[in-house]
Amino acid sequence: MAECPFCDIIQGNLEASVIYEDDLVLAIVPLHAPYPESALVFPKEHIDHFTDLPRDLATHVMSVGFDLSKKIMSEYQPGRMGMGVHGYGVPHAHFNVFPQNHPMDVVFRKMAYIKDGEVRFGFKNLPVPSREQMDEIARTLREKT
């Protein structure tokens, strides 16, 4: 298997701000997100494509994401919550949970920039939250009932 940062997090080889963990999944505050009050939920088993997950595991991943979206909405009060499977980025199935304060946040408008006359997307314009900020968000969401 190629290098996988999510597997490194699961194995304890890479630091992460953990929001939720059980025997099947892990939910973390993502390092690169348009808003720091976001979450990534992924299975502990390395499966590249979300569509290759067994139905019960996919349902569990989305259920954890749904629960986290309600906590994020309650705690941070964004205009809306977005959830979805992007499919690219890290080659490990994962479910994105993110606040939306603008209609274009679903396509991560903060990641958009113009280069050579074309709209491109990337991390270059995103501020990276501090570990302390990510840990505080994770703690807040863990303790939210």
The pLDDT tens digits along the chain (145 residues) read: 568 999 999 999 999 999 999 999 999 999 888 788 999 999 999 999 999 999 999 999 999 999 999 999 999 999 999 999 987 789 999 999 999 887 666 656 566 667 788 776 666 666 778 889 989 999 999 998 6
Looking at the 3D structure of the chain, how many domains does it have?
1
Burial category of 59 from C-beta neighbours within 10 Å (exposed 0-12, middle 13-18, buried 19 and up): exposed
pLDDT of residue 115: 76
Of the candidates 72, 45, 42, 74, the one whose C-alpha atom is nearest the C-alpha of residue 60 is: 42
Q: For residue 19, give the 3-state DSSP assignment.
A: strand
- The pTM for the full model equals 0.82
For residue 121, give the CATH number of its domain: 3.30.428.10
Alpha-carbon distances, residue 27 vs 17, 96, 112, 144 (angstroms): 9, 10, 26, 14
Q: By residue range, what is the domain housing residue 107?
A: 5-143
DSSP state of 127: P
Residue 128 contacts residue 143 (beta carbons within 8 Å): no
Residue 90: both structure tokens together = 């890290």
